[in-house]
Amino acid sequence: MAVMTYREAVCKALADEMRADENVIFFGEDVAEAGGVFKVTPGLFEEFGPNRVRDTPISEQAIIGAALGSAITGLRPVAELMFADFVPVAMDQIVNQIAKYRYMSGGQFKAPLTIRAAQGMAFGFGTQHSQTAESWLMSIPGIKVVSPGTPTDAYGLLRGAIREDNPVIVLEHKGLYNLSEEVPDDTGPMALGQAQVRRSGKDVTVVAIQLMLHRTLEAAELLATEGIDVEVIDPRSMAPLDEETILQSIAKTNRLVVVEEAPHGAGWGGDIVSLAADKGIFWLEAPVKRVNMGGSLIPYSPPLEDAAIPNVARIAQTIREVMAA
């Protein structure tokens, strides 16, 4: 069992899949000799060479278009978008081409491609480089979306994504790249669409991903000293969403809080609330609460950035309010 950072886990997953399948290729801006803007991919260019690890022009449309073209001609490309904020630049390729290609061909063609992108608040990158993209992407039929929150999941979910015969977008949180943990030696490609109970509890269910997952776990430990037992669910995969695990938790705790590093409007937390209202309404004994950014953009100023994103104190206070209802 090796101790590995989130950053190292992503690189190892790419390397292991490239060793396992010569059809796996990798390209993006500055990913080759430079090892990526976040230094996530060092060593890949040296091991696999310029035919399989390539730098691209600064053009998200070109990167994603090349991913589709290479996928439908027999390769398994992994394309990197430097920031998830740049996904909208390539939305036509993603929404109207990649997501629909297999469907429009009547299943005659498949598009086994993976798009990696760094997202989330960290390091004061400002409002154009700090957003999260789950809510933009998970409403697109034909696309799978995963959001790993630990090094183990960063490794296993990326390997699982690369082996998928359908397009998968892997959203990596740049604020977690330095997070480390022991990754079991037998960790392999993970199936997509399986949530994980990160902390068992009996009083209230909290659903959170990535950075908000870790802040929620911290809030749960704080609340345990007050006699509140919090169950924390990490969906890991946003599309497909593991509804069963979430509903089983709601049935046990009878309360629900959702924590999002995203604006309130049309956020993915609304899908969780809708699920609870549709299939778990008779279990609920208190109003459902969402903790998120409201209508805020992400400021450049570090103190304002910290204020915009849900913190441990705000998460804990919302859980107390649900428990008191």
Q: Over the stretch 41-52, which tens digit does the pLDDT of each residue have? A: 999 999 999 999
| 173 annotated active-site | no
The fold of the 196-324 domain, in CATH, is: Rossmann fold (3.40.50)
Residue 100 CA, distance from chain mean position: 22
Domain boundaries, the chain: 2-183, 196-324
Mean pLDDT of the chain: 97
pTM (two decimals): 0.97
Task: Indicate the CATH number for domain 2-183.
Answer: 3.40.50.970
Question: Phi and psi at residue 186, in whole multiples of 5°?
Answer: -90, 10
Rounded CA-CA distance 14/103 in Å is 28
122: pLDDT confidence band, cut at 50, 70 and 90?
confident
pLDDT of residue 1: 82
2-183 against 196-324: fold identical: yes
Average confidence (pLDDT) over 95-105: 96
Residue 236 contacts residue 157 (beta carbons within 8 Å)? yes
Q: Which two tokens stand for residue 236?
A: 């890991």
Average confidence (pLDDT) over 103-124: 94
